[in-house]
Every structure is written in structure tokens, then in C-alpha cells.
A = this chain, B = another copy of it.
């Protein structure tokens, strides 16, 4: 059944597409997936292994999974269907925005590519859904959009290398001095040495500098991007 796109597979693909964006490695852990899918971790592990065999997903044991090319294609199409449906339900049928997401969630599974095409034409190819979420019509549009979006330091991962992109709330001069001293102004490259979520801190090190700690709270003020 390697080519059958079941409703279940679709749900997995869509969640992985979104969650992978929040992770510099591009991988989604089994725990995270289980939480989002509202299933047990064991179930998710089993299913992911099957989907991997069918070529939808790539899986690294004890690490997580990401979408294959084939999986990406399908996942982006689902997001396209979802957002176009939201647009239709809200602007054409004038449904309450609170119900729109849930309804689109159901309908997207049965909306064929053909109906999608006609619906898009009828709606005159809107660029955004009613909540200003862009409607991506292919992977390139999707990837391009997310390439430009950034994460903050608190989401950085151990052993990965990043570049400082921007500092939020630049008024705080104490905080600024701390950044200058540790060579962490926009443009600087650094690596994550260690991190403790329960402890609420992260330790990073810029080139030719000593390691330095930040609270995850203050890390939210530092916008970063993964270094190639």
C-alpha cells in the first residue's frame, strides 16, 4: 500500500511539515509528534517507520524524522488545500472564523486536486487566508517563505552553529554591553555548547571568545538563523 495516501498519513505529513520549521535540524522528535497528533509515542514510532519504508518520511532512530521529497510535495499540497478552504468558508460562506479551522481540517482530506483547481479559480487565487497566513501553491513558495523566517536563541540546539541576525529591544544597554563583550552582535557566528530547559539556561560560544550563559527568557530577544 505504499502509494495510498490515507487520512492518517496526511495528518502525520502536515504536522511534520509545520513542526520541522521550528527545529534548526529540520527534524521532529517522536515525542513532539505524539503530542501534536495526540497519540502515544509508541504508536508514532511504529507509524513513522512504516511511512519511512513507503518513502514519505526519513527517520533517524532516537533522533526524529523529516519529510522526504515526496512527503514534502504532499504536505505542502495539504496546507494549500487547508488554507484555501479556510478562505472559502470565511469569505464566501461567511462562516464564523472560530469554526473555520476545524471544518477545513476535515474537508481538506477529501478535496481532490481537481476541485482544488476549480475552487482556486472561483476564489480568484487569493494570496492569504483570512488570518494572513500565506497560501503556498508549491514547495518553492513554502521553502522560500520559511527561509526568511527566524528563530530566537532559546530555540537553538546543542552543537549547532548559528548567526546572530538581530537584537530585539536594543534599548537595554546592560544587555547590549554583555553582547558586545561576548562578540554576539548581529553578524557574529556562535556555537551552542550546552543547554538546560529545566534549568532555563543556554551556553553559547562565539569564535575566539569564552563560553557565555543566557537565560532562555533573555534568549528570546536574540534572533538567530542556522548557519548553512
Q: Which residues of A contact B (CB under 8 A)?
A: 89, 92-95, 99, 103, 106-107, 109-112, 114-115, 118-119, 121-122
A107 and B103 contact, Cβ closer than 8 Å, known pairs A92-B122, A93-B122, A122-B92: no
Contact (Cβ within 8 A) A94 B112: no
With A and B bound together, what is the CA distance between A99 and B121 in angstroms?
Answer: 17
**Cβ-closest chain B residue relative to A111:** B107
Residues of B within 8 Å of A112, CB to CB, are 103, 106
With A and B bound together, what is the CA distance between A93 and B119 in angstroms?
Answer: 6
Contact (Cβ within 8 A) A103 B115: yes
Contact (Cβ within 8 A) A118 B95: yes
Q: Can you list 5 residue pairs at the A/B interface with Cβ under 8 Å?
A: A95-B114, A95-B115, A103-B112, A103-B115, A106-B110
Complex partner residue of A115 from B107, B114, B115, B119, CB under 8 angstroms: B107
Counting chain B CB atoms within 10 Å of each CB, which of A94, A110, A111, A121 scores highest?
Answer: A110
